[in-house]
Chain A
């Protein structure tokens, strides 16, 4: 658990980050909260000769709420998400999800940007951001661009972000109606055995629209359009939920690990989604 030697950089602005990335190419990586990268470096599974710390970059901190439009800087910590009454009022699912990420010590350091950008299928924020149809804001040598969270994840640790790009912020329209983030894990600090992010809008006693995303049940987060659609127009009764769960199960592709075999994970995914839908509907 001793990392190989590396140079540490702490630029104070994004221009500095981009310059370092350009200078060092594949040898450089940015670090946010470090919960994924530092263990990988200690295990010597990640060789990072040039480590660029984003902690000193003010423009990546803070968030803004304009009506229902929410924009969160990449270096905002999960602790800050939980502590913000403003965010909790406009998008309470942020707090509900953040509270299920590890423990307070982790959340003091862990950032929303690091959680979203890295492409770790175990992270909770990617699924949430897909559920919310969030936009990811990237900056690179050719300027800024936007990528939909639903288009960002390609495989485990493989994303639409280029090596010389940095995630600067995440934005989304806060959903109206009901919401839930439901997660089963073995213990505090563990990744999900299965987790589901659900938002539901109700109109005239029926589901007007619904969005469903699942965490750690494939090598990427899975936004299941079919599962959400299955609820639309229904009263979210048991039969409708069953159809949604079946649609979701068609979209996920879990693998066996120490949390259990595939059959177990699929079964739990169905139970967790059922509970998430039920809770979101109650709140809709």
Chain B
């Protein structure tokens, strides 16, 4: 904008387009309690569903007696697998090519598994009836450890026990799901065997849960008169749900309408299809009246999709000077009872092969073994692109371990291994083409901002004071440089259940110069109604305040693959910009006609077309919109609408530099975050205020995961962290004041250069907090300790190092 006149700057500012910290238009209703969530939907005659769930992690079901429940006044139906079997709906396909029980078919495989679905006239009767369903279980041996699962004679999945081939190739054992390999195994082993220095470590990224504030739920309404099925639900991908529902039920797709209303957070938890959705639909089809199912918090934590649970063993090779020469990574992935990971079909371990990180590593190899255990299914990307947080956690821990091995400063080790600015587009050893980056500039800016050298000096002084007995507090400096891979993705290699991962935008300009745009994505708190209007405002020159954004209704929105993996801006945002450009192209013809000049003789000026060389002659977009509908223009159809379907040529690669300064009370294990600095580069910045909000939220979820949030099981497969008493959800009290910063390296292939940002802070934040804890004990010989770093585990680390003696 530097060449703009003041008058032009004012016009641009009035649009509230790209770069404007426009306030979120959604917040008027959210902050006044006027949102419309699934549980707010109340239809006449609506029935309520509730699940009988398994108390056991592994058991055979000998019998289910529903007679007492059915006898309760107000109970309409109790569905079991036997009732769904004739419809072939007692099992359903998962997004990962496996199948999953909708209701327990002969056995249960995890605690909290859905066994029977009670339908009653109100929610309270349904809950009472659940207590009356009598299930006779015969307990079976429980396996909650994936390494044990691969050795055990106990067959978890009897339905596929003799299948040697799964959706992703050969199976090595009856509890094995797949092996996924990327890279050069022999060459990598060669490099490691001949390396001057090799650091080896096993890094466990524990099981946790996305835990959105709103739990999952659905309302299904089958209209038997017109044959239409309407389903409201907590869906991050409503169009995919419509297609899957059609394929499963046999109802033609045009007769199914799926609506995602306001959604209270998703973080990956609402990508998959859950038995509750299926049961509410079946129950509505059977009863002919609407059926609602809303899970409670414990059900959400116990049974809907978890995240992580990756055992990652790494070997990283380097020269004595610290130049990394090779990376070997093996993952044992605990997928629980069914493989219900939400990944693009060809990527059974998501984009774990981004695990070479931000570093120029010439040779690498990754192998992932998926394993069944008696835990809940899932494996979703909790506020990250597919398995990217696992990958970044892995490499950022390995870098720290290598720094210890080399006796080097970890910031310097990163610097000498960064991919250089001039190497972009960069081809990674594990198959990705990084689009753009300037890592050295970001790193230097971050280190300077926190006075990195000063911090290290202070830390060294603290260690000495500790040794002299003058303090019982240690100081950790957590470093992370992350590269995300988001915006899935190119249809040539990214699909979900065969549906290519493009996205879409459809725009209608109204005659008076306002507009509605509909997209294939769905906001769950990201603020799409605010930011997509900003993209359009800059493209078509109408104020963002005059543009309505609508998502989530499959009867009106164009087909799209939904919102997760930070894909909305990279994919649907690109479609929005390109649809806007189609509008502008037609507007140019109209303007030229109105101005009585040739099409090529007008040029775009913020919110209008002006005659080249005669800027006093112009037509604003508002005027053009009116003319488009009300004036006969030779050779131009009336109206002003456009649609764009965008198949991205590549992923986008946001990156960032995070630094955490933490004080640790060695005696109690209590950590205090003194400072957290986050530099993000997400390319072109659409709304800085929303970016900052995303960073704050993502960092807070990262803090949760790193410092205590987990889904833990005992040996019997009982969930130990099924309520907020034990499942750590931080409050404002536990959260530090974050310092945010940025650089801007636009994506070269995205129409507006934007890369996506929602998940970066989580991906970068988790290793940063964890590295700070580990770093605090580096001077006392610690190499690595597993997350979550809650008080007692930190205390245990100090204890094992002899710091309590």
Interface residues of A (CB under 8 A from B): 1-2, 4-5, 44, 103, 184, 186-191, 193, 258-261, 263-264, 267-268, 271-272
Q: Does B728 contact A (CB under 8 A)?
A: yes
Q: With a CB–CB cut-off of 8 A, which chain A residues contact B670? A: 184
The 10 A-B residue pairs whose C-beta atoms are closest, nearest first, are A260-B792, A2-B127, A1-B296, A188-B733, A264-B792, A258-B726, A271-B667, A188-B731, A264-B795, A268-B668
24 A-B pairs (CB sep. < 8 Å): A1-B296, A1-B297, A2-B126, A2-B127, A4-B127, A5-B124, A184-B668, A184-B670, A187-B733, A187-B734, A188-B731, A188-B734, A193-B791, A258-B712, A258-B720, A259-B792, A260-B790, A263-B799, A264-B792, A267-B667, A267-B804, A268-B668, A271-B667, A271-B668
Residue B131 is within 8 A (CB to CB) of chain A in the complex: yes
Chain B stretch 675-732: residues in CB contact (< 8 A) with chain A: 708, 712, 720-721, 724-726, 728, 730-731
B297 neighbours in A (Cβ, 8 Å)? 1
B128 interfacial by beta-carbon distance below 8 Å: yes
- Residues of A contacting B725 in the complex (Cβ-Cβ under 8 angstroms): 190-191
In whole angstroms, how far apart are the Cα atoms of A210 and B305 in the complex?
A: 53
Q: Compute how far the CA of A242 lies from the CA of B154 in the bound complex, rounded to whole angstroms.
A: 52
- List chain B residues, Cβ under 8 A from A259: 791-792
Q: Select from chain A the residue with minimum beta-carbon distance to B667.
A: A271
Distance, CA A184 to CA B670, complexed state (A): 9
Q: How far is the CA of A44 from the CA of B124 in the complex (A)?
A: 12
Looking at B126, B297, B667, B720, which has the most chain A CB atoms within 10 Å of its CB? B667
Closest Cβ of chain A to B696, distance in Å, is: 18
Query: In whole angstroms, how far apart are the Cα atoms of A103 and B796 in the complex?
Result: 29
**Given A1-B297, A187-B734, A188-B733, are A268 and B128 also a contact pair (CB < 8 Å)?**
no
Closest chain A CB from B638 CB (angstroms) = 56
Query: Would B796 and A4 count as touching, CB distance under 8 A?
Result: no
- Sample of 4 further A-B pairs with CB below 8 A, known A190-B725, A264-B791: A184-B791, A186-B728, A188-B731, A258-B726
Q: Find residues 246-289 in chain B having any chain A CB closer than 8 Å to their own CB.
A: none
Is residue B491 within 8 Å, beta carbon to beta carbon, of the partner chain?
A: no
Q: Which residues of chain B (102-144) have a CB below 8 Å from chain A?
A: 123-124, 126-128, 131
**Using Cβ atoms and an 8 Å threshold, which residues of chain B touch A260?**
790-792, 795
With beta carbons under 8 angstroms apart, the residue of B668, B730, B796, B804 that contacts A187 is B730
Closest to A260 in B: B792
Cα–Cα distance between A1 and B127 once the two chains are bound (Å) = 9
Instruction: Specify which of B50, B731, B790 is in contact with A189 (CB 8 Å cutoff).
Output: B731
B480 CB, nearest partner CB in chain A, Å: 24
Q: Which residue of A lies closest to B793 (CB)?
A: A260
Please pick, from A1, A44, A261, the residue contacting B792 in the complex, using a CB distance under 8 A: A261
- A-side contacts of B733, CB under 8 Å: 103, 187-188
User: Which residues on the A side are within 8 Å of B744 (C-beta)?
Assistant: none
Shortest Cβ distance from residue A111 to the other chain B in the assembled complex, whole angstroms: 20
Assess whether B123 is in contact with A186, with CB atoms less than 8 Å apart: no
Q: How far is the CA of A186 from the CA of B668 in the complex (A)?
A: 11
Kindly list chain A residues whose C-beta atoms are within 8 Å of the C-beta of B731: 103, 187-189
Interface centre among B126, B712, B791 (most CB of A within 10 A): B791
User: Of all chain A residues, which has the CB nearest B127?
Assistant: A2
Q: Is the CB of B131 within 8 A of A186?
A: no
Q: Which of A184, A186, A261 has the most CB of B within 10 A?
A: A186
Q: Is B411 an interface residue (CB 8 A)?
A: no
B298 at the A/B interface (Cβ < 8 Å)? yes
Query: Measured between C-beta atoms, what is the minimum distance from B92 to chain A in Å?
Result: 26
Interface residues, chain B, with chain A CB atoms under 8 Å away: 50, 123-124, 126-128, 131, 296-298, 667-670, 708, 712, 720-721, 724-726, 728, 730-731, 733-734, 790-792, 795-796, 799, 804
Nearest B-chain residue to A44, judged by Cβ: B131
User: Which of chain B's residues have a CB closer than 8 A to the CB of A5?
Assistant: 124, 128
Alpha-carbon separation in the docked complex, A258 to B669 (Å): 14
- For B669, what are the chain A residues with a Cβ–Cβ distance below 8 Å? 264, 268
Bound: A5/B124 CA distance, A: 8
List of A residues within 8 angstroms of B296 by Cβ: 1-2
Chain A's nearest CB lies how many Å from the CB of B714?
A: 11
Q: Report chain A residues within 8 Å CB of B128.
A: 4-5
B720 adjacent to A267 (CB under 8 Å): no
Assembly CA distance A4 to B670 (angstroms): 40
Across-interface contacts of A1 in B (CB, < 8 A): 296-298
Chain A residues contacting B298 (CB-CB under 8 Å) are 1
Given contacts A187-B734, A188-B734, A189-B731, contact A264 B667 (CB under 8 A): no
B309 to chain A, nearest CB (A): 18
Complexed CA–CA distance, A268 and B665 (Å): 11
Chain B residues, CB < 8 A from A263 = 799
Q: Is B795 a contact of A267 with CB atoms below 8 Å?
A: yes
* In the bound complex, CA of A271 to CA of B734 (Å): 21
- Whole-angstrom distance from the CB of A42 to the nearest CB of chain B? 9
Residue of A nearest to B124 (CB): A2
Task: Name the B residues within 8 Å of A189 (CB-CB).
Answer: 724, 731
Inside 8 A of A184's CB, which chain B residues have their CB? Answer: 668, 670, 791
Residue pair B791, A2 in contact (C-beta under 8 Å): no
Closest Cβ–Cβ distance, residue A185 to chain B (whole Å): 9
In the complex, what residues of B have CB within 8 A of residue A258's CB? 712, 720-721, 726
Q: CA–CA, A103 to B298, complex, Å?
A: 22
Q: Give the distance to chain B from A105, nearest Cβ to Cβ, in Å.
A: 11
- Give Cα A44 to B791, complex, Å: 31
Q: Which residue of chain B has the shortest Cβ distance to A270 in the bound complex?
A: B667
A272 to B670, CA, bound (A): 12
B637 to chain A, nearest CB (A): 57
Q: Residue on A with the closest CB to B48?
A: A2
Interface centre among B127, B708, B712, B799, by most chain A C-beta atoms within 10 angstroms, is: B127
Chain B proximity of A242: nearest CB distance (Å) = 14
Q: Which residues in B have their C-beta under 8 angstroms from that of A191? A: 725
Smallest CB separation, A189 vs chain B (Å): 7
Residues of B within 8 A of A271 (CB): 667-668
B454 → chain A closest CB, angstroms: 30
Min CB gap B721→A, angstroms: 7
In angstroms, Cα B124 to Cα A271, docked, is: 47
Q: Is the CB of A186 within 8 A of B708?
A: yes
Q: Are A186 and B795 in contact (CB under 8 A)?
A: no
> Chain B residues with Cβ under 8 A from A188's Cβ?
731, 733-734
User: From B299, which residue of chain A is reached at the shortest CB distance?
Assistant: A1
**Residues of A with C-beta under 8 A to B728:** 186-187
**A4–B128 CA distance with the chains assembled, in angstroms:** 7
Q: Which residue on chain A has the smallest CB distance to residue B795?
A: A264
Please measure, in the bound complex, the distance between the C-alpha atom of A186 and the C-alpha atom of B733, giving whole angstroms: 11
- Name the distance in Å between A3's Cβ and chain B's nearest Cβ: 8
Complex contacts, A186 vs chain B, CB 8 Å: 708, 728, 790-791
Q: How far is the CA of A5 from the CA of B720 in the complex (A)?
A: 28
Given the complex, which residues of A lie within 8 Å of B708, measured CB to CB?
186-187
Q: Which residues of A contact B790 (CB under 8 A)?
A: 186, 260
* Nearest opposing residue in chain B for A265, CB measure: B792
CB distance from A203 to the nearest CB of B (A): 31
Closest B residue to A259 by CB, please name it: B792
Task: Give the residues in chain A near B127, CB-CB below 8 Å.
Answer: 2, 4
State A188–B724 Cα separation when bound (angstroms).
11
Q: Bound state CA distance, A221 and B767, in angstroms?
A: 39
Contacts A186-B790, A188-B733 given; indicate if A264 touches B796 (C-beta within 8 A): yes
A183 to chain B, nearest CB (A): 11
Q: In whole Å, how far is A122's beta carbon from the nearest beta carbon of chain B?
A: 9
Question: In the complex, A267 Cα to B796 Cα: how many Å?
Answer: 11
Complex Cα distance, B790 from A261, in Å, reads 12
Docked Cα-Cα span, A193 to B668, in Å, equals 10
Q: Which residues of A contact B734 (CB under 8 A)?
A: 187-188
B796 surroundings in chain A (CB, below 8 A):
264
Rounded to whole angstroms, the CA-CA distance of A66 and B18 in the bound complex is 67
User: Hey, which chain B residues are within 8 Å of A2, CB to CB?
Assistant: 50, 123-124, 126-127, 296
- Smallest beta-carbon distance A55→chain B, Å: 23
Chain B nearest CB, measured from A135 CB (Å):
32
- Expressed in whole angstroms, the minimum distance between the Cβ of A25 and any Cβ of chain B is 23
Q: CB-CB < 8 A to A268: which residues of B? A: 667-669, 791, 795
A46 to B405, CA, bound (A): 56
